[in-house]
Structure 1
């Protein structure tokens, strides 16, 4: 049998996500010190760009969710790829802090159009029972972006950070534009249901498998949606702070830039195991319990991060923190798909991502401010463990809002009213 076309879409989203996140999210830490040296800005000022990225996503994410549900992912991804390339080139031309912030906002605007909400929505349209596996593989592209961090560091050291940004911008167009042509918004126009199930000749869903999603209004009234959104706020606040400051933090405690770069690359790479592994477990076991486990391991990773002085502690941190936050990222999407269905998926994910982005606004400058004030990052890492505890309590209280709508898998056995 030919490979289900949904998996080709997963592959395209994997590659685009890998490229974009390697530069804007995980790889941004490599640009901080060269920019600080050239302009004399503080770490808090430079890392505030990450907060602007979060602000832009916080304001734009809910609107983007509406656009995905209305226009589909393909158009938005093409627009996003073009904008990311332009944004990287614009960022290379910056000479003032204000221009730096404006360029980074433009870049983040494009990134929102070709990652996160847009890619996850199209995967959710093409998969249901295998959503955890598909989302895990797609999201592992964000993790595999760590492979590019040494290349980014090398480009900066050889050509300078400005030329490196131009090269990366042109590369975005060369890689991303052809891949957006692969994207298709939904499987039904091509004769399939989610997961590759055949569509009857009349084009209607099989009567024994009628999916009953919740409307936007029904979902917003449910406490479980609030709990899931709140947990994502804490997760993203912590992850953005750690990822943004990992190299400056490790440098401040005496590790070499090479060792810090290795760790920065290892964070997304090790997260792959969690994205795929916990996504697979979520297709088999109770997603809620698996997500609680990921946050517990994330808290242990933060505690370990406070004591990174030796190689064994560094490895333990990489074994705990990245897989756990990667798994939680995948599970929040597959839980949303399972509990609330496809009808308002883009809108609901946009709201969750908007709340998460607010956490991203707070995390990086908070960590930078703590370091600027006391020359030590460890107090903020300890403070973040309280956020992990709150997230665990939130996730534990999540319950399916539609048990009466059909079977546990989210489908009804009714013959269709």
Structure 2
């Protein structure tokens, strides 16, 4: 047996220096920061001077923000392009498309010109954001959740940084110049991302296994594919997906997306209904966004160490604590209840999103991740698109004490299916 092993495998390759995969994680953090920070949060700030100059209503500017989500179904068909051209090429192409669109925002003079730009910007957003987790899964397996959480929290950090930064830009330049500045900033960031990712396309290219572990190299040329062979997803593998399970998971994820955006969009009004000032309610909303980033990173670290079911229980407790505190706020009018509600709700929302990325990868496996993550992204985007209208409509019709119960009900299917689902699997 030992002789046969010597003939078929070389010695493990030692780990040397800083693992290149963490450079990829840093690049993906910067990518999500720019995607959400500039094209979502930064653009939201730009809508105020746009509305004043052109006389647009709040509904019109709101539709401009939402237009970027209309292209979400593209996520379902981007996987073949990723397998053909590579996730890195798709990522850079999507980022450059957003750079061009941001730069062109400053030249518009009608609503429909800007609406079309936002749709095209959405194409860039979808293709680049789908490429991010595929890049991460190329470099990580055992530590995927930690690495993915660090990359994904860039989106929340982008909102935290770019919203006030855009407001600052508008204090000494007009909105056209500010839009051009955001485009230039995203262009510089894209260059940095390109440079960070240069050097290798996979751990095998630098003589390592996933997660930077030592790699056993085959000595027999006929013993397996070459180092840099790109695994191709076969039609038979796609047909092996349990589409009943996939559909149930997609519906549950969409409902949680509705719950997340409904909660976030109505959180200031809900907190104000508990006797808190509008200014303080806005501050608590900012804390919710920051807590969401903390929840993403924390649950990512825990998912690599705890069982997924236990992490899901933690998410359920956080959401229940946050929503129960907001109900208590309606009776006690206490700042402490508002603070606990905003923080626990934010951590729970961020943690649930990260947990479901990991759940999707484990249920269907790494090889199909570009396809299944596309479904994940589309389902969540559909929930976000519906969450605003659903939240506003129900908040106007339900008492403040009942609205948090609706949010919990929307999350309940996802919390249940994370633990119980047909054909439950835990693949690498």
Q: What is the TM-score with the length of structure 1 in the denominator? A: 0.81
Equivalent-residue separation in structure 1 for 2:267 and 2:201 (angstroms): 37
**Structure 1: where are the runs of 5+ without partners?**
206-210, 403-407, 411-417
Stretch moving more, 121-130 or 135-144? 135-144
Largest Rg, 1 or 2: 2
Instruction: Note the C-alpha offset of 1:85.
Output: 1.3
Instruction: Note the C-alpha offset of 1:64.
Output: 1.8
Query: Alpha carbons of 1:40 and 1:367: their partners in 2 closer, same or farther (altered >3 Å)?
Result: farther
**Structure 2: where are the runs of 5+ without partners?**
1-15, 226-230
State the partner residue of 2:146.
133
SS at match of 2:312: helix
SS at match of 1:284: coil
Answer whether contact 1:143 1:271 (CA < 8 A) is retained. Answer: yes
Instruction: Note the C-alpha offset of 1:69.
Output: 3.0
Equivalent-residue separation in structure 2 for 1:222 and 1:79 (angstroms): 34
Does residue 1:119 correspond to 2:132, yes or no? Answer: yes
State the partner residue of 2:157.
144
Q: What is the TM-score with the length of structure 2 in the denominator? A: 0.79
Instruction: Note the C-alpha offset of 1:16.
Output: 1.7
Equivalent-residue separation in structure 1 for 2:346 and 2:406 (angstroms): 18
Answer whether contact 2:37 2:163 (CA < 8 A) is retained. Answer: yes
1:259-408 to structure 2, matched below 5 A, reads 259=280, 262-302=283-323, 304=325, 307=329, 311-367=335-391, 383-398=406-421, 401-402=424-425
Query: Alpha carbons of 1:148 and 1:377: their partners in 2 closer, same or farther (altered >3 Å)?
Result: farther
Q: Deviations over 1:275-294 (max 9, x none)?
A: 11111111122213413432
Equivalenced residue count is 394
Answer whether contact 1:65 1:351 (CA < 8 A) is retained. Answer: no
State the partner residue of 1:414.
none
Instruction: Note the C-alpha offset of 1:378.
Output: 8.8
State the partner residue of 1:23.
38
Answer whether contact 2:149 2:296 (CA < 8 A) is retained. Answer: yes
Instruction: Note the C-alpha offset of 1:264.
Output: 4.7
Answer whether contact 2:271 2:326 (CA < 8 A) is retained. Answer: no
CA RMSD of aligned residues (A): 3.4
Equivalent-residue separation in structure 2 for 1:368 and 1:97 (angstroms): 24
1:163-242 to structure 2, matched below 5 A, reads 163-183=177-197, 184-202=200-218, 204=224, 215-221=237-243, 223=245, 225-242=246-263
Q: Deviations over 1:96-128 (max 9, x none)?
A: 33233212112222122332x211111112111
Stretch moving more, 321-330 or 373-382? 373-382
Equivalent-residue separation in structure 1 for 2:82 and 2:187 (angstroms): 22
State the partner residue of 2:59.
44
SS at match of 1:67: helix
Query: Alpha carbons of 1:330 and 1:401: their partners in 2 closer, same or farther (altered >3 Å)?
Result: same
Stretch moving more, 146-155 or 172-181? 146-155
State the partner residue of 1:405.
none
